Amino acid sequence: MRNVIAFALRNRLLVLAMTAGLVGLGLWSMARLPIDAVPDVTNVQVQVNTNAPGLSPFEVEQQITLPVELAMFGLPELDEIRSISKFGLSQVTVVFKDGTDIYFARQQVQERLQLSREDIPERLGTPEMGPISTGLGEIFQYTLSTDSIARQDSTFLRTVQDWIVALQLRAVDGVAEVNSFGGFEKQYQVLVRPDALIQYGLTLEQVLDAVAASNRNAGGGYITRGAEQLLVRGVGQVATLDQIRQVVIAAREGVPVLVGDVADVVVAHTLRQGAVTKDGRGEVATGIVMMRIGENSRTVVADVRERFEGVKGTLPPGVTLEAYYDRADLVDRTIATVRRNLIEGAALVIAVLFLLLGNLRAALIVALAIPLSMLFAFSAMLKVGIAGSLMSLGAIDFGLVV
């Protein structure tokens, strides 16, 4: 120890330069260190979700969940597979060993999903990976409301949420997904009349195929006319209810049978299993912004908040957009707690050392080690991938003071 002290005294400029370099590295690391309120201890996992409307839990497990699970066997770094089969929904969670890169894991799962889709019966659902987020990724929540509580207004609110608000917030860097809840999800429904099918000798499968095949555009190349090239395209994508009714299913004795002849085409909503209310005054639509794994929640929330304020100017008249949860509040409180502990701890150290030693300079030198050690710790945390939170920063904070 004496040799170290003697070396430092003989090479003051070198020691100061090294200290300044470490301080600069610490400040650089602090600016880039992910900050969150609590640590995310979620294991490395990839969720595979499949919507299968109308299927019971037994059929969901037998025809969807089982093929997906079998396709995931043998993945590299695989730890376990667990699943939940509900009415109309299959959710398979593929858990990998700690330390596995999440993007590598998702790539492996995506490759196996191609195999599972071949084993799932047609029209029973398509397995898709969930967003690259965790349960602690919910960083921002908001509501859309109107003064009316009519059902058509609830459908309108959900449509605004899905096609105006969510689309703009999803474009923010660091956002993995924007989940929508509440209201009625708008849907165009073809309500087939069984007696009409029997009358025309048609099956439900023929109606499904006709509607699916007609709702698309096609390209036909181009035609040269002099010095011009005219593009040829077939427009078949439907835009109104009448266009759906005019879709041809088949022909009987040279007369086309249309969808409108065997079914009623209406604008309705999907079946739902819950609702969202606000302060007991009626239904609202709500959105939850999910942060991508590994991002800085404080930075992402700030960007989301900025875009959120801009979205308000694009809303239809009568729609109110309000935030009711902001992760930045918790992060700011965490940082304020750590800052207060550092200041109070440094002041206490200076006071105790001054009273015991009677030397203010010695007390200041010892107290100076607290912020310097904190900056050095930031560099190490950034290197090993540990996010700053109340637990990690608090542990370092209390340890340095003690």
pLDDT of residue 95: 92
pLDDT tens track for 271-322: 777 788 888 777 888 999 999 887 888 888 889 999 999 998 888 888 889 8
Highest averaged pLDDT of the listed ranges 112-126, 133-147, 158-172: 158-172
Query: How many CA within 13 A on the CB side of residue 324?
Result: 14
User: Does residue 397 share a domain with residue 351?
Assistant: yes
User: Does residue 70 share a domain with residue 23?
Assistant: no
The residue among 254, 269, 284 that closes a domain is 269
Of the ranges 99-113, 132-146, 265-279, which one carries the lowest mean pLDDT score?
A: 265-279
User: Does residue 219 share a domain with residue 252?
Assistant: yes
CATH number of 98's domain: 3.30.70.1430
φ, ψ of residue 271 in degrees (nearest 5): -70, 140
Q: Is residue 196 part of a domain?
A: no
User: Does residue 397 share a domain with residue 355?
Assistant: yes
Write out the residue range of the structural domain in which residue 98 sits: 43-133
Under a CB-based contact definition with an 8 Å cutoff, are residues 90 and 52 in contact? yes
Q: Is residue 51 part of a domain?
A: yes
User: Does residue 49 share a domain with residue 112?
Assistant: yes
Assess whether pLDDT exceeds 90 at residue 96. yes
Query: How many CA within 13 A on the CB side of residue 229?
Result: 4
Amino acid identity of residue 14, one-letter, is L
> What's the whole-number mean pLDDT along residues 382-402?
70
φ, ψ of residue 343 in degrees (nearest 5): -65, -45
User: Does residue 7 share a domain with residue 70?
Assistant: no
Assess whether pLDDT exceeds 80 at residue 34. no
The residue among 232, 251, 269 that closes a domain is 269
CATH number of 336's domain: 1.20.1640.10
User: Does residue 77 share a domain with residue 25?
Assistant: no
Which of 388 and 27 is assigned the larger pLDDT? 27
pLDDT of residue 142: 92
Q: Which among 336, 363, 321 is positioned nearest to 142, based on CA atoms? A: 321
Q: Is residue 99 part of a domain?
A: yes
pLDDT tens track for 45-79: 999 998 888 788 888 898 889 988 998 998 999 99
Q: Rounded to an integer, what distance in angstroms lies between the CA atom of residue 215 and that of residue 239?
A: 9
Number of domains in the chain: 3
User: Does residue 56 share a domain with residue 33?
Assistant: no
Its sign, for the CA torsion 273, 274, 275, 280, is: positive
Assess whether pLDDT exceeds 90 at residue 30. no
Assess whether pLDDT exceeds 70 at residue 397. no
User: Does residue 104 share a domain with residue 58?
Assistant: yes
Q: Is residue 323 part of a domain?
A: no
pLDDT of residue 151: 54
The residue among 251, 269, 287 that closes a domain is 269
Q: Which among 5, 19, 130 is positioned nearest to 373, based on CA atoms? A: 19
pLDDT of residue 307: 92
Give the list of residues 6+ apart from residue 272 with CB closer than 8 angstroms, or none. Answer: 184, 185
Q: Which among 314, 331, 326, 330 is positioned nearest to 289, based on CA atoms? A: 326
Burial (CB count <10 Å: 0-12, 13-18, 19+), residue 385 = exposed
> What's the whole-number mean pLDDT along residues 118-139?
84
Q: Which among 89, 267, 281, 287 is positioned nearest to 182, based on CA atoms? A: 287
Give the list of residues 6+ apart from residue 47 with CB closer than 8 angstroms, or none. Answer: 91, 92, 93, 94, 129, 130
Q: Rounded to an integer, what distance in angstroms lies between the CA atom of residue 84 and that of residue 68?
A: 12
Confidence of residue 400 (pLDDT cuts 50, 70, 90): low
Its sign, for the CA torsion 82, 83, 84, 89, is: positive
Confidence of residue 148 (pLDDT cuts 50, 70, 90): low
Q: Is residue 169 part of a domain?
A: no
CATH number of 220's domain: 3.30.2090.10
User: Does residue 62 share a domain with residue 24?
Assistant: no
Q: Is residue 241 part of a domain?
A: yes
User: Does residue 106 share a domain with residue 33?
Assistant: no
Q: Rounded to an integer, what distance in angstroms lies between the CA atom of residue 36 and that of residue 327?
A: 8
Residue percentage of the chain with pLDDT more than 70: 97
Q: Is residue 33 part of a domain?
A: yes
Q: How many CB atoms neighbour CB 64 within 10 A?
A: 28
Q: Is residue 12 part of a domain?
A: yes
Assess whether pLDDT exceeds 70 at residue 149. no
Q: Which among 185, 128, 160, 127 is positioned nearest to 316, based on CA atoms? A: 160
User: Does residue 48 share a domain with residue 32?
Assistant: no
